Structure 1
Amino acid sequence: MMIRGLETHIDIWNKDASYTLVALHGFTGSTATWRYLAQALPNVRVVAIDLIGHGRTAIPVHVQRFSMEEQVQDLEEICCQLQLETFTLLGYSMGGRIALSYAISYPKRIDKLILESASPGLRTVAERAERCQQDEALAQKIMANGLVAFVNAWENIPLFATQFRLPKNVREAIRAERLSQTEEGLAGSLRGSGTGVQPSNWERLEQLAFPVLLLTGALDKKFCKTAQEMKALLKNGTHITVNNVGHAIHVENPAEFATIVEEYLT
């Protein structure tokens, strides 16, 4: 699908279902990450998008095209082309930051918002500047050392330590998804829409009237704390913590994740 001049890959499962869930993956992810969820929710039309710099979506030349503002406009254009009036929006990690930014910009589109291990960004200019430096250093490392070296390092960061307990075939699928990316795409994503360059949305949480579900893994202490702070600011927020999992709940316990989402939708 051509979206604002960029060839964008979209997967749609359960096309005949009347209710729509739009799902946004995380950094190094793709639409493939939502396949199990779509199979588990046969009565829900699941629209999954390869975000800029990921999967089979084209890679822009200019880093500005990766920005949060651009991706919010892309998502609105997708909704227009698919004739989606209202829907539930689900975002995981990076996809959660984009989902929240979109929901703030287009609240009338949102029936419910589900944020899995996601934050509204960093509160202070100093925090954002420090994170920008870290993201730029990582982007340079990806370009200099290549994708395989990056994936080897990325799968060993503390955030994903809990994934080593997963069955071998699941770990191999996660690795394959990461290795399906490109150096240019990931570096552009970090530079254009990383947590450091994203405007903070903390002060906008209280203006959201629609229901917001915050999902975190109990072993992901940082994002559990973030979700608690977010819930305190939301008018209609719910925070569910899933036991014995870390950052990627939908990967580490897909059945429980699907059950929680299904119950929240109904």
Structure 2
Amino acid sequence: MPETLVLLHGFGGTHRAWDPVLPELDHETYSPIVPDLRGHGTKSGVRPITFAGCVGDVLAAAPDAFTLCGYSMGGRVAQQVALAAPERVRRLVLVSTSAGIADAEWRRQRIAEDERFADDLERMTIAEYADYWMAQPLFAGTPPEAAAWWREDLLRNDPVGLAAALRAIGGGHMEPFWDRVSELTMPVTVVAGARDEKFVGFAEQYRRRLPHADVHVIDGAGHGLPREAPVALAALIGEGAVA
């Protein structure tokens, strides 16, 4: 019987962010569940938006035991699910993510940036948001075909929901939990794109804190791994399947 695989999208995306990956998975191995996170897609209006609420949503949707994979913001949520219910998460796959901003001054700056952007978001159309978001240096080098598909997914959101999510579960507002990463005793796979230098650095932090983790860097890819390298990412998700 296939293992349940829960896939969590990043900020600004929806469950459709995993569309390029799903056909590449071995469906004899995995049966995917792909929810929207609060403030996004079909859950744009769900309140309150909190990490605890997102964790509760995932645990309510999943069976007693499952594999969990999260991308970017979804990876931060996934880690908190695994910390809250380690007996249920058989394996954890972390894609282009981190355990938060450890430096206090850097975090204060990020909170201020998130607040300013959330204010701007509430005045934007969803098309204006999509154009702004895709133009960030973090996403430089996204292949045109992947970018066109990605924009369609961004447009499935509502700026008000995204602003609320940014204020509640954005990178700045999240308390860092690097000191708890060692509690992730289940099998862990960490994946980053080679062009995504910041998150390659985070991958190395996981390697130091989780000696049992498998850490992979995908050549030629940036931050948007589910859309930029779906075949390679699906292979890594399947590679460590729990028997």
In the superposition, the TM-score normalised over structure 1's length comes to 0.86
Q: Aligned ranges for residues 97-136 of structure 1 at < 5 Å?
A: 97-136=76-115
Q: Distance in 2 between matches of 1:69 and 1:197?
A: 14
Q: Is residue 24 from structure 1 mapped to residue 24 from structure 2 by the alignment?
A: no
Q: Aligned ranges for residues 219-258 of structure 1 at < 5 Å?
A: 219-258=195-234
Aligned length in residues? 240
1:254, distance to aligned residue in structure 2 (A): 1.1
1:134, distance to aligned residue in structure 2 (A): 0.7
Q: Aligned ranges for residues 66-145 of structure 1 at < 5 Å?
A: 66-79=49-62, 84-145=63-124
Q: Distance in 2 between matches of 1:50 and 1:265?
A: 24
1:257, distance to aligned residue in structure 2 (A): 1.3
Q: Residue 219 of structure 1: SS of its match in structure 2?
A: coil
1:77, distance to aligned residue in structure 2 (A): 2.2
Q: Distance in 2 between matches of 1:18 and 1:145?
A: 42
Q: What amino acid sits opposite 1:231 in the alignment?
A: R
Q: Distance in 2 between matches of 1:18 and 1:259?
A: 16
Q: Distance in 1 between matches of 2:75 and 2:111?
A: 19
Instruction: Check whether the contact 2:24–2:230 (CA below 8 A) recurs between aligned residues.
Output: no
Q: What amino acid sits opposite 2:219 in the alignment?
A: N
1:107, distance to aligned residue in structure 2 (A): 0.6
Instruction: Check whether the contact 2:66–2:90 (CA below 8 A) recurs between aligned residues.
Output: yes
The worse-fitting range, judged by mean Cα deviation, of 208-217 and 144-153 is: 144-153
Q: Residue 85 of structure 1: SS of its match in structure 2?
A: coil
1:162, distance to aligned residue in structure 2 (A): 1.8
Instruction: Check whether the contact 1:86–1:111 (CA below 8 A) recurs between aligned residues.
Output: yes
Q: Distance in 1 between matches of 2:66 and 2:7?
A: 10
Q: Residue 112 of structure 1: SS of its match in structure 2?
A: strand
In the superposition, the TM-score normalised over structure 2's length comes to 0.94
Q: Residue 56 of structure 1: SS of its match in structure 2?
A: helix
Q: Distance in 2 between matches of 1:241 and 1:124?
A: 25
Instruction: Check whether the contact 2:99–2:178 (CA below 8 A) recurs between aligned residues.
Output: yes
RMSD of Structure 2 on Structure 1 (CA): 1.4
Which consecutive aligned stretches of 4+ in structure 1 deviate over 6 angstroms post-superposition? none
Q: Which runs of 5+ in 2 are unaligned?
A: none
1:58, distance to aligned residue in structure 2 (A): 4.4
Q: What amino acid sits opposite 2:197 in the alignment?
A: K
Match of 1:166 among 128, 144, 168: 144
Q: Which runs of 5+ in 1 are unaligned?
A: 1-16
Match of 2:136 among 157, 162, 165: 157
